[in-house]
Amino acid sequence: MASQTPTVVPFPHFDKDVDAQGLRKAMKGLGTDEKAIINILCYRTNAQRQDIKLHYKTAFGRDLLDDLKSELSGDFEDVMLGLMDTPAMYDARCLKKAMKGAGTDEDAILEILCARNNAEIAAIKEAYKKGGFGSKDLEKDLKGETSGDLKRLLVGLSVGARDEAASCDPTKVQADAKALYDAGAGQLGTDESEFQRIIVGRSRNHLRQVFAAYGSLTSKSIEDAIKSEMSGNVETGYLNLVRFINNPLEYYVKKLNKAMKGLGTDEACLVRIFVMRCEHDLGDIAHSYRAHHGTSLVDAIKSEVSGDFKRALVALLS
């Protein structure tokens, strides 16, 4: 993978005591200084924010998260609280939210599980248990919320046992491309278990080559094959996986564009991507967004959302 461009990097001359005092002052007494909160939390890395959180309690005997919850509201509160979680706890919380109440937000679940490596998935499962979410067992909750091939796909992803080898064997690449063809277009009906065995189990490096080989073998892209062979939630599941593996930046650009397109905005999706990607590749995503849509991500955000929520997202981008 190419080197990544984060938008949030370690703050130079970081001083947890100065930051904790600044946050306390911003929330003390009448009114809240939202700008001061943004200027601190949106310009610190997660590790620095965790230091501030601990020091805040040490210095003031108060819980920073409780203070933020009582002072902030709406989407602005969501993004600031998201920044205060560790990455694994934030993912676990988003998964819990996606399975809460009537209906399941499969899109959010897939967005998280398809993009995490084995170590990250192990940390999410631990955080899910530690946070006391649902039954405290992520796999059990995924099984309870979904069914059929989608359930098997999500359970497979939640195991966190994908091959992570960097090297690829050309013979195995060709064999997997042929196996995918035989499991779909090469027969009547579709053998989803073969798709899962390969797309959930193989390394991402290997799969990028398999998808290219599939295109050469059939003159049809793997995406087209999935669209013609599957339907409903399981089709959405495999398309999410393939798109992320093939081109992570383009995957997030499409997600962001969909979240801001048409009437209404999917604020939850914006929060998730900004919180999860700001220390990884949000700079690259923004660059790719401009290349695809001819407008900057900052301008797109400014035209979609407003107030402190807008200021926070713009700060995370800068």
Instruction: Say how far apart CA 5 and CA 1 lie, in whole Å.
Output: 12
- Given a cut of 80, whether residue 188 has pLDDT beyond it is no
- Give the model's pLDDT for residue 192: 87
Q: What is the pTM of this model?
A: 0.94
Homologous superfamily of domain range 248-317? Annexin (1.10.220.10)
Amino acid at 250: E
**Best CA proximity match to 268, nearest among 55, 66, 78:** 78
- Give the model's pLDDT for residue 29: 85
The average pLDDT across 290-305 equals: 97
- Give the model's pLDDT for residue 263: 83
Q: How many CB atoms lie within 10 A of CB 275?
A: 26
- Given a cut of 80, whether residue 5 has pLDDT beyond it is yes
CATH 1.10.220.10 fits 170-246, yes or no: yes
State the Cα torsion 210-212-217-222 to the nearest 10°.
80
Tell me which CATH code domain 102-159 carries. 1.10.220.10
Instruction: Say how far apart CA 152 and CA 257 lie, in whole Å.
Output: 29
- Give the model's pLDDT for residue 307: 98
**Predicted confidence band of residue 102 (pLDDT cuts 50, 70, 90):** confident
The average pLDDT across 110-124 equals: 97
- Give the model's pLDDT for residue 3: 73
Q: How many residues are recorded in the chain?
A: 318
Cβ(118)–Cβ(161) below 8 Å: yes
Q: What pLDDT digit, counting tens, does each position of 222-269 carry?
A: 999 999 999 999 999 999 999 999 999 999 999 999 999 988 899 999
- Give the model's pLDDT for residue 216: 93
- Given a cut of 90, whether residue 175 has pLDDT beyond it is yes
- Given a cut of 60, whether residue 1 has pLDDT beyond it is no
**Predicted confidence band of residue 101 (pLDDT cuts 50, 70, 90):** confident
- Given a cut of 90, whether residue 185 has pLDDT beyond it is no
Which value, in Å, is the radius of gyration of the alpha carbons in the chain?
21
- Given a cut of 80, whether residue 155 has pLDDT beyond it is yes
**Predicted confidence band of residue 2 (pLDDT cuts 50, 70, 90):** low
The average pLDDT across 154-164 equals: 97
Cβ(49)–Cβ(316) below 8 Å: no
- Give the model's pLDDT for residue 191: 87
> Is it true that 1-72 and 170-246 share their CATH fold?
yes
Structural domain boundaries in the chain: 1-72, 102-159, 170-246, 248-317
Instruction: Say how far apart CA 162 and CA 298 lie, in whole Å.
Output: 35
- Give the model's pLDDT for residue 288: 98
Query: What percent of the chain stands above pLDDT 90?
Result: 92
Architecture of the structural domain at 1-72: Orthogonal Bundle (1.10)
